[in-house]
Structure 1
Amino acid sequence: MTMVGTTDLNRPVRSRAAGPAGDDDSRREVVATSRAPRARGVPHAEIEPAGSSEGVAGDTVTVAVAVRVVLSGARIVAGADGANRRVNWATTLRGRPPAFEPRGGGELVLAPGATLESLYQADRALTIPRILEGLATAGAVGLVIPAPAPADAIVTSDRLGLPLIETPEGFSFVDADRSVISLVLDRRSEMQTRASALYRELAALAVEGQGVAAILSKAASATGHLAVLEDETFTVRGTGVPPGEVATDLPATLTSVEERGHLVAWLRTQTVNSTTPPSTPITASRWSKHRVVAPVFTGERLRGYVSFCGHTSRLGDFDLLAVSRTAAICALELSKEDAVLAAEQRAQGDLVDDLLRAAGDPELTARPAMRAGLSPTGSFGVVVIGFDTDVAPAEATNLTASLHRMLRDRGIPALCRTGTTEVIVICEVAAGTTGVGGVAHDASTIDTSLRTIAKVIHETAATRLGQTATGAGLSQPHSPLGRLPDAIREAREAWRIGRRVHGAGHLTPYADLRLDRVLYALRDAPELRQFCDQSLGALIEYDRRTSQNLVATLEAFFACHGNLSQTAVRLQLHRNSLLYRIGRIQEVGAIDLEDPETRLALQVALKARRLLIPL
């Protein structure tokens, strides 16, 4: 039968006198009515569509498996590149358009000879090559026809990579339809049974309190794939390695920036709940692997992603189910962690209050310090995470939990307390005569260690809440713990001064402020404001009237230590333009920039002005 084959499968039958439709018109109509649904904005190369040849394994019903197992005597005569495409269903073409009704992609389509003849008689445009093109557009994975296959259909099948399957004489298309569907359903049932058994095993580990590490290890053992849990910022929280394998030299992060965008876009198209999260195949380019991934939700909050990583040929439909079940158990485990951390946060807040009340009394300080795991006589510092913008209480609580977990994992003794506008973190950097880890310390070592810890704390907070929303202040190292009120005051002042000096989102060590902190202590003194007005008032008023930015020019001049060339580059001015401004500054302000006392007074006034301007 050589007259069969186009794609205009979903177009109503036209009058025979109208003649066949044009190629472009036919194809557009089929694609518009038959396209399998996809995630909006997600490139096909990243989130694989139903029926993809990627990510299949022995538990998956592919075109090749269907031909071998249930299509007795049939053979793939063209389009063999698509033989490993996943079969999700089987359907038989109808004898009149619309002949094919998509079911979401992955259909193996059967076309008996009588059906093909009927379609051709209804519309001469419906030849087998055109049918193949329409099925490819609609997401089908193969076409089964009676032998012999037309030569032009073989060429089209190879070009599309859509398998064309030829059946022998006497082949029952009705039985084949039923057999393929039964095979798909039987495999799904088997996989559901295996996935349910895995879910029960993982749930038992969660009930026993084995933790996320044990859950991932069991999942890796059951699937034979590397199991990875990332948090909502795509930081790897844990891995599970299959028996007999060793995970070494893996990058610190699994998901690339591009893959994160694809995942987020895909997730927007899904209906999600914590007990049956969706799953999808995706690449893991940083680890040179493929993977299947499922989101982890506690309530309506996204907590991260679970991935099974491996080679494409080993990832199958069971893994899609298994990663979903593993994500559901991880959600339960994280909910338990949340409850424990919430209790710990309340207890830690109470301990901070106890330490503040006992300040100055070594005996009273010792008891809450020991309960907190801190040395009463050790060296410590305080980091205050200040919220430069409004932060919801739940977000602040989650941030504190993340900081507590991060510090615990790094082996740093610490206390955290959540407030309405800040999070206080008390970090021990040296107990007795040794630092964290038992290394002997001196003042320089303690300061360096404290700054390193503070930087990690601030980066964690900025990642969680956004860089511009999160500033931080760091106290100087203190000892003993009875000096906690002084350390908290320094950290708060460092944050507040840092907002004015550096802007939002910066970590400011108190020890680096020097003159700024002296001026900040005098901020309410009328003499300081009077001093600023006398030193800069004329320039400020001139800028207000003319927008000449003389004050900003003066600040840049001092920042460049009076070097005119560097100042001109900094302000992106011609040197002559800068010289003109310098002249105007001296004239308007009645000042002599060559006089050391005047230069000192102006620099102090500029610093004080930043501390006096309302935020």
Structure 2
Amino acid sequence: MRLRALMETDALGLRLLGGDDELDRTVRGVMTTDLRDPSRYLSGGELVLTGLAWRRSAEDSEPFVRILASAGVVGLAAGEAELGNIPDDLVVACARHRLPLFAVNESVAFATITEHVVRQVSGERAGDLAAVVDRHRRLMTSGPAGGGPEVVLDLLGSDLDLRAWVLSPTGRQIAGAGDPLPAEVSAALAGEHLAATRTGRRGPHRATAGGTAYSLFPIRNTGRGAAPASRDVRETVLSDWLLAVEADASDWPAARLDLLQGVTQLIAVERDRREAARTVRRRLAQEVLELVQSGAAPAEIAARLRVAAPVLLPGLGTAPHWQVVVARVEWEQEGGGAPVEAGPVTQSLLEEILVDPATGGSESADRIAVAHTGDEAIALVPLPGVSVTADTDLLDTPPVGTSDIGLHADALLAAVHDPLSAGLDGDGRLTLGVSAAVHSAEGLRGALEEARHARRVAGARPGRVCAAGHHELASHVLLLPFVPDDVRRAFTARLLDPLRDYDRRHRAELIPTLEAFLDCDGSWTRCATRLHLHVNTLRYRVGRIEQLTGRDLSRLEDKLDFFLALRMS
């Protein structure tokens, strides 16, 4: 706003005492002070309000006004409540430094002037920023990306002094200006947003985390697949992003609220673009899944995996291991209501869950391929595997404890449990199952069944969000009659394949050694005698078995697992 506008508002009670040719100066803010030297608190463009408590004699006016003029202050408003009429020495000093001077009637509080100026300045900034946001939206919808959400969040910070972050339903920070939010704050805000959305309340939602107030604005899907307003909120609640603003928007004027709604619509354009970019990866996952479930030959599945690997791990130059994650969102059926289509939202949610939270933006999401069938989402996750060389198919020694590489159910659960529990509270459940890593097409069907069975194990547990991994399918579970044969075969292959591969390349006879060691109840002397080996040679072979499998043959549980794997092979 300009100084001249202050004179046009009678409620402010301002009387111009000098500087009528400087009234076109732009006011950027307001400051109240009675310090003799307030320069450290001035940045330029302010209207300074003062009660004149700093003035002890006529000589004090000149240095005070000189400090204000040097700091770039655009005007001075002095209250009449302390001294009555404004002293002539102050009028002269302001005229000398060409600083407009106003007298403030004693009946008008400084707070009234401050509120008016702040409202006007903020409104004009919001209007300017709204125009920028609108131009940015047109750029993003009509051509290449205009810089992403970070550009708009930077504008909110620089023009309106608002700190804001874009968060996923799990609390992962997708974009932000300045310092990132602490992980526990992000998770808490995501949980508050999901809980408020489930109630059907309109945003923004107010939340407090870490003693700070935030306003949460939903970012709806605006693309061709956007849900109609009449659709059940449960079909989108777990997939929509949110904009968290460090401010209480409950008393904001309509213009500022409209501006933030425009920002969310702009960010929704970027969300739709990233959603569209996942189409290729989803199709790859769907094709592999159909081949696996139809019982296609391993060579055909392997060919499809070779196509998928460069897309999911560009430039890695390795033969990846693969891991399968199965997820299912289930909603309680309401009386007479239509069933909720959970497959698409489970697909989007699983893609988000599997994103590395340490990687911002969409880079790590590019490595996730998720298909869905019915209410079940299935992720094909590539893991950096064993390097391929010109001379050999694999390194001489596979990774130690191959079954422990990759994703872990407990870690996934810990990362998303709290916010998603809020989104599912009342009538929803999310269950996750995680397979072990496999390094060939032959093992993929077993990994899929293993992940599905782990999800069923998770489903038997209480709670809104539950997960189970392959390590929970212990040997005693495999003896149960309802466990699929593919799960048993996957268990056996995971435990014994590293030994078979080593025997094939080195003729080391680790499998016969393991069988003999177990038959001899772990007796070093009897086993060495049976195999006609020195005890030290036997200890070397057993050590190699433990190294390749990550197991410990002195533990009863590991002995039992090996015993059952050998019997089922």
Normalising by structure 2, we get a TM-score of 0.47
Normalising by structure 1, we get a TM-score of 0.44
